Amino acid sequence: MIEIKELTKRFGSKPVVNNVSVKIQPRAITSFIGPNGAGKSTLLSMVSRLLDADTGEVLLDESNVKKWKSDQFAKRVSILKQSNYLNVRLTVRELISFGRYPYSKGRLTDEDEQFIDQAIDYMNLGDMQDKFLDELSGGQKQRAFIAMVIAQDTDYILLDEPLNNLDMKHSVQIMKILRKLVDELGKTVVIVLHDINFASVYSDYIVALKNGSVVKSGPTVEIINRDALREIYDMDIPVQEQNGCRICVYFNSY
C-alpha cells in the first residue's frame, strides 16, 4: 500500500506540489491528470524517491520510502520517466535484462531469463529483441523501456506519461497491457496521463491536480463529468457515452 501524506515540494519559493495527501488503491490503475505544471510528474518522482520532498512523507507498507533499502524498494516499486536518453549502445533484450538487476545484480539466472522472455512477449518485442535501441523508432523504444519495467516484476508500477510519442495503435496497446497487468497479475499501476480520454476509459481511480494541489480524487465515474472537469481544467467539457466508455469531447469547448 502506498500512502502519500501531506507532501510539499518547492522549486525556489514556488510550491510545485502543495500539501498533497493521496492513498493509492492497490490492484487498480490510478491516473494522475491535470493541466500542464500541475505537479503530476513531480509528485510521481517523489513517490518513487527520485526526488526528495521538502515536507511530508510517502509510505510504502507503512514505512517511509526513504527508510527502505534501495535494492529492496526496487523489487516493490518501479518508475519510468518520460525521457530516456541513453549514451550506451544496448540491444532491446539487454535493456530489458536490466529490469532484473534488483534480483540478480547482473548475473542472470534461468528465472530471470523467463521474466525477460515474458516481458518481451507482453510488449510484442520478439522480432526486434536483438536490435539496437538507436535503430528503433520513438514508440518502439518506449515499449522496450516499459518492458524493462515489466521484467522488474514489482507490485507497483509508476509511469510518467508513457503514451508520449506513441501513435493511437500503440497507445491503446500499452493501456491494454497495463490493464492486463492489473487484472491478471494483480499489479498496482500509477500513471501520469495527458489524454483525459485514456484516463477515463482505462483507469479505476483518478487523482486530479491543479497548481500543485489535489482538486478532485476518487473513482473514475466521479471525476469524468461536466462539473468536476470544469473545476479541474476551467473548461466546459461535455461527456458522452460511447460503447460503454465515457468520452470527453473537449476539442471545441472553451
Which of 7, 16, 79, 248 is in the footprint of another protein by CB under 8 A?
Answer: 79
Measured distance CA(65)–CA(68) in Å, rounded: 5
- The reply to whether 49 sits near another protein by the rule CB under 8 A is yes
- The reply to whether 122 sits near another protein by the rule CB under 8 A is no
- The reply to whether 85 sits near another protein by the rule CB under 8 A is yes
Which of 13, 36, 87, 252 is in the footprint of another protein by CB under 8 A?
Answer: 87
Which of 102, 139, 162, 212 is in the footprint of another protein by CB under 8 A?
Answer: 102
Applying CB under 8 A, which part among 22-30, 58-66, 69-77, 182-190 lies near another protein?
Answer: 69-77
Tell me which amino acid residue 153 is: D
Which of 59, 90, 172, 239 is in the footprint of another protein by CB under 8 A?
Answer: 90
Which of 14, 62, 88, 127 is in the footprint of another protein by CB under 8 A?
Answer: 88
- Restricting to residues 134-193, name those near another protein by CB under 8 A: 149, 152
Applying CB under 8 A, which part among 24-32, 43-51, 135-143, 224-232 lies near another protein?
Answer: 43-51
Applying CB under 8 A, which part among 95-103, 112-120, 198-206, 216-224 lies near another protein?
Answer: 95-103
Measured distance CA(112)–CA(114) in Å, rounded: 5
Dig out the grid coordinates for 82 from the structure. 518520460
CB closer to another protein, 104 vs 197: 104
- The reply to whether 73 sits near another protein by the rule CB under 8 A is yes
- The reply to whether 81 sits near another protein by the rule CB under 8 A is yes
Provide the pairing of β-strand 29-33 with 205-210.
parallel
246 with 200: CB under 8 angstroms? yes
Measured distance CA(32)–CA(51) in Å, rounded: 17
Measured distance CA(53)–CA(162) in Å, rounded: 23
Alpha helices in the chain (DSSP H): 40-47, 70-73, 92-98, 101-104, 110-122, 138-151, 168-185, 196-202, 220-223, 226-233
Is 88 in a helix, a strand, or coil? coil
- The reply to whether 101 sits near another protein by the rule CB under 8 A is yes
CB closer to another protein, 89 vs 230: 89
- The reply to whether 51 sits near another protein by the rule CB under 8 A is yes
Phi, psi of 35 (to 5 degrees): -65, 170
